Amino acid sequence: MKRVGIAILGLGVVGGGTYEILTRNREFYQKTQNVDITVESVLELRRERALSLGIPEENIAGSIEEVLANPNVDIVVEVMGGVEAARNFVTLALKSGKSVVTSNKELLSKYWHELERLARQRSVGLYYEASCVGGVPIIRTLLDGLQANRIEKMTGIINGTTNYILTRMTEDNADYANALKEAQRLGYAEANPEADVEGFDAAYKLSILSSLAFHTKVPFQKIYREGISGIQAADIRHGKELGYVLKLLAIGTNSQEGVEVRVHPAFIKADHPLAAVNNSFNAVLVHGDSVGDIMLYGRGAGAEPTGSAIVSDILFAATHSDVQYSTFKNTASAEKDVRFITDFKSAYYIRLNAVDEAGTLAKITGIFSKNGISIVELTQKGSCVEGRVPLVIVTHETREQSIKNTVAKIRAAGTLGTVEAVIRVVMG
């Protein structure tokens, strides 16, 4: 039976979960995978944390050099978080001829090209299933399940923190601040939640997933990003009345026009497959030219779901002698012939506080018309307050720039009212 030694860098929530899965299921993997996985070394500054998990003291390393000097270590698992220290440790591991498994989506999205180049030079593996969508096997599906397809579109809820917050705002009529506090209390949101609520986390993941799906490098800098911190409870309520559910979506499309990648809040129809994905759960809807639509759903974070993805990569590395690398030119920037669409098409929900005077509505709709925007629905949400009337407008599909021009004109007029919210509506 093949014996494979593992080193784990960091015993936080995910690292601890990974250790527990490997320990608990060791005999199961021997029986089903014909491989004996042993944890030979851990790098953790909190020795008491390592000891509490049952790790022998002699297996607790004091430095990355000690870890890499261990001849029994074949695969290094990086679950430290952060970027610079992790980048340094992963670089050293690859240079020393060790395969690496990482859950670090920010590290990978920023330095994937650099790390993969080292892995190729040393003929070792770089695995990252756990970097995107927790325990949901989206990366392995793209690499080994859907390779017969040209992937034309991906739409996903790929951040559990924001999905939990929006679920609470939807189901409990909570405002953003209170929903965020509850997410922090439960451990779904960090003390500084910026990476999640402003869409950075989802953008890092979409960079990785769209690169794999479309077989071309999609740098995260190319992704349009907008978070949920400006979402108001009133808009979620109005959306529900119109038959919509609000989600933070990661959207990637690959067409003859080019590659379109964006992360932002969006209304979707209540019967959309992603509308029922609530709380901290994640899902990705993928459309292939041959298979049509498939959806992967599951927990997007947590010790054991993410640990499951890490152990899956460990087992894949341990049982496959051939190493897989990117199917595209993996460089720091996109290839020159790839066109990125920024003026994308969408329907839009717009809420205004309009001045309650004769002719105001005609002027507002006239601005929409002059910008080539057709209105699907216009409703008044409440009565006149202090000379202002709340209006909600839903448009047909139009270009992003047309909406920006329209909103700018209404605001510049100064006499028509205020634009309180602009939220995209995804019809398909």
Q: pLDDT tens digits for 218-237?
A: 999 999 999 999 999 999 99
Q: Is 114's pLDDT higher than 80?
A: yes
pLDDT of amino acid 381: 83
CATH topology of domain 2-131: Rossmann fold (3.40.50)
Q: Is 400's pLDDT higher than 80?
A: yes
pLDDT of amino acid 285: 98
Find the catalytic residue in 205, 217, 222, 247: 205
Buried b (16+ CB within 10 A) or exposed e, 206-227: bbbbbbbbbbbbbbbebbbbbb
Q: Is 300's pLDDT higher than 90?
A: no
CATH of 345-426, one of 2.40.50.1020, 3.30.70.260, 3.40.50.1370, 3.20.20.70: 3.30.70.260
pLDDT of amino acid 414: 86
Per-domain boundaries in the chain? 2-131, 138-299, 345-426
Q: pLDDT tens digits for 370-388?
A: 999 999 999 988 777 778 8
Q: Is 321's pLDDT higher than 90?
A: no
Label residue 288 exposed, middle or buried (CB < 10 Å: 0-12, 13-18, 19+): buried
* C-alpha to C-alpha distance for 261 and 199, rounded to whole angstroms: 13
pLDDT of amino acid 290: 96
Q: pLDDT tens digits for 32-44?
A: 999 999 999 999 9
pLDDT of amino acid 25: 97
* C-alpha to C-alpha distance for 54 and 216, rounded to whole angstroms: 44
Q: pLDDT tens digits for 330-366?
A: 999 999 999 999 999 999 999 999 988 888 999 999 9
- pLDDT band per the 50, 70, 90 thresholds, residue 164: very high
Mean pLDDT of the chain: 95
Residues 8-30 have a mean pLDDT of: 95
Known catalytic residue: 205? Answer: yes
For the structural domain made of 138-299, what CATH number should be given? 3.30.360.10
* C-alpha to C-alpha distance for 329 and 236, rounded to whole angstroms: 42
Q: Do domains 138-299 and 345-426 have the same CATH topology?
A: no
Tokens standing for residue 420: 């309180």
* C-alpha to C-alpha distance for 94 and 79, rounded to whole angstroms: 15
